Amino acid sequence: MNKPHSNKAWFLVLPVFILVAFSAIVPLMTVVNYSLQDIFDVSTRYFVGTEWYREILNNSRLQDSLVRQFIFSGSVLLIEIPLGIGVALMMPKSGKWSVISLLILALPLLVPLNVVGTIWQIFGRADIGLFGWALNSLGIDYNYAANPIDAWLTVLLMDVWHWTSLVALLSFSGLRAIPDAYYQAASIDRASAWAVFRYIQLPKLKSVLLIGVLLRFMDSFMIYTEPFVLTGGGPGNSTTFLSQALTKMAVGQFDIGPAGAFSIIYFLIILLVSWLFYTAMTHSDNK
Amino acid sequence: MSWMAWTTPSALFFIGIACILIGMTYWEIVSPCIARKGFFPIETTRGDRLFISLLSAAFIHLGFIGFTEVTIWLPFTVAIIWLLIVMKWG
């Protein structure tokens, strides 16, 4: 029987496998071990089975954080993906202005996460921050430190400011990769701008958008630093997302066992949703 | 067993997963799989079906652990049956 391919090629993957084993698989196995034990250190530990999982799944504060996290990630995707595509479509296609636009768009991506939080913390303040002061001067009662809705809007706005550029840059590279022949054919057919977008640009953008959606989902679902610096999870618990709850549990309270169980559940949710996105977007061609 | 804070159940769990992966690799070498469409709305390979089964097994266990008081062997049995169904007809 003729084999369709040589399995020896898999040996080329071995170095990557070893690297991933040490950077991801072994730590994940350790977390699984911890999640089944009441553990303080290697010599002080008791096997508790699935007890921590039951506790975490029934913890109402964590359930609230999960709901909050889904609302946040959903909002981020609904705003940043269309906005990023829109920005990419409006950008100059070539020349000096194209380079300038690319540079300006890349700037927010270069700012460290905790600096983004600090920028917005100051920017949103009613006394010294331009944004907060301007809104209050317009008669809008805005205070992200006291009002949960204001805090949410500020966190969302901060994420949109920070990460829409990523989607825009990915979309821009996708748009530039479309051969001119497609546009020429469309103009011969007198296709409208909407038809060009719907039947040429959007299908051709699919692979870069897949990366964009996955990156933005995973990043926003794991968001920690920016809301922690901006609101500290408050007012109350209104902007406490899963990462912050997990950090509080693992580092603040040193509850390593429950934090391990929490981490595994968190990881499984991200894995499931990312797989669903990936499958839905890669299999839509086959319909 | 103190290395990485191993316990017997977690060691058995990972040995099980490793055996499944080794078995699947051997199966793939002996008889390479062809993607097909079963009851899932997507075309799947044998590896896809295993991934779907394992991921669902995790959520089946979480569902039973979190929201019922039954023994862990019940979700384990459900997950095994689900794995067999998915591998055969998925």
Beta carbons of B7 and A33 less than 8 Å apart: yes
| Residue closest to B78 by CA, chosen among B62, B61, B54 | B61
Q: Is residue A5 scored above 80 in pLDDT?
A: no
- Using the Cβ of B22 and the Cβ atoms of chain A, whether some distance falls under 8 Å is answered with no
CA distance B74 to chain A (A): 14
B55 with B80: CB under 8 angstroms?
no
Q: Quick one: B17 and B38 in the same domain?
A: no
How many beta-carbon pairs under 8 angstroms link A with B?
61
Q: Quick one: B22 and B41 in the same domain?
A: no
Q: Which residues contact B11 (CB under 8 A, 6 or more apart)?
A: B1
Q: Quick one: B48 and B28 in the same domain?
A: no
Beta carbons of B66 and A3 less than 8 Å apart: no
More confident site: A42 or B9: B9
The enclosing H or E element of A5 equals none
Q: Tokens standing for A282?
A: 């890669």
Q: Quick one: B16 and B44 in the same domain?
A: no
Structural domain contains residue A53:
no
Structural domain contains residue A121:
yes
Question: ipTM of this predicted complex?
Answer: 0.92
Mutate to test the interface with A, among B15, B30, B42, B49 (most CBs of A within 10 A): B42
Beta carbons of B62 and A37 less than 8 Å apart: no
DSSP B44: B
Encode pLDDT of A80-90 as tens digits: 999 999 999 99
Q: Which residues contact A65 (CB under 8 A, 6 or more apart)?
A: A237, A240, A241, A242, A244, A245
Tokens 């100051």, located at residue? A122
Structural domain contains residue A268:
yes
Residue of chain A with shortest Cα separation from B7: A33
Q: Tokens standing for A113?
A: 């996460």
Q: What is the pLDDT along chain B (90 residues), one digit of tens a residue?
A: 667 788 899 999 999 999 999 999 899 888 888 888 889 888 899 999 999 999 999 999 999 999 898 999 999 999 999 999 999 988
Q: How many CB atoms lie within 10 A of CB A142?
A: 21
Structural domain contains residue A142:
yes
CATH code at A147?
A: 1.10.3720.10
Phi, psi of A46 (to 5 degrees): -130, 135
Q: Whole domain around residue B7: which residue ranges?
A: 1-32
Q: Which residues contact A284 (CB under 8 A, 6 or more apart)?
A: A206
User: Which residues of chain B neighbour A32 with C-beta distances below 8 Å?
Assistant: 10, 13-14
Q: Quick one: B56 and B81 in the same domain?
A: yes
Helices (H), A91-222: 96-110, 113-123, 130-137, 148-176, 180-188, 193-196, 202-221
Structural domain contains residue A155:
yes
Structural domain contains residue A44:
no
Q: How far is the C-alpha of A7 from the C-alpha of A26, rounded, in Å?
A: 26
Give the pLDDT of residue A40. 81
Give the pLDDT of residue A197. 92
User: Which residues of chain A neighbour B67 with C-beta distances below 8 Å?
Assistant: 57
Q: Quick one: B55 and B67 in the same domain?
A: yes
Distances (CA, A) of A132 to A216, A228, B66: 27, 19, 43
User: Which residues of chain B neighbour A257 with C-beta distances below 8 Å?
Assistant: none
Q: Quick one: B19 and B61 in the same domain?
A: no
Beta carbons of B72 and A29 less than 8 Å apart: no
Q: Quick one: B28 and B42 in the same domain?
A: no
- Torsion of the alpha carbons at A27, A29, A30 and A31, rounded to the nearest 10: 90
Structural domain contains residue A3:
no
A83 with A160: CB under 8 angstroms?
yes
Q: Which of A30, A275, A286 has its CB closest to that of B55?
A: A275
Residue of chain B with shortest Cα separation from A265: B62
Structural domain contains residue A47:
no
Domains: count for chain A:
1
Q: Whole domain around residue A126: which residue ranges?
A: 66-286
Domains: count for chain B:
2
